[in-house]
Amino acid sequence: MSETARVKELIDLEIEASHRALYGLAVMASHEAITARMERMAEHLHVLDQAGKEEELKALLMCDKLWI
């Protein structure tokens, strides 16, 4: 699996976890938990930036799923 694909998969998992934390029926997420997830997503994006994957980084940042 390429680095880009791996980072994209990690971001997708963080997005899904954030949505479940915010909108799930079972548990409400604390502000700290949500902040930690967002910080991990930023780290994943930073990896792409450091690897020179500018087009992939732009595509992820423009993804509606990231901001919903």
C-alpha to C-alpha distances, 35 to 1, 41, 50, 55, nearest whole angstrom: 28, 10, 22, 26
**pTM (whole model) above 0.75:** no
Q: In angstroms, rounded to a whole number, what is the distance separating the alpha carbons of residues 10 and 68?
A: 17
Segment 53-58 shows an average pLDDT of: 86
Q: In angstroms, rounded to a whole number, what is the distance separating the alpha carbons of residues 21 and 40?
A: 15
How far from chain centre, in Å, is Cα 35? 12
Question: How many residues are given for the chain?
Answer: 68
For the stretch 15-52, pLDDT in tens is 888 787 777 765 566 788 778 888 988 888 898 899 99
User: Domain boundaries in the chain?
Assistant: 3-67
Q: Which backbone phi and psi does 35 adopt, to 5 degrees?
A: -60, -40
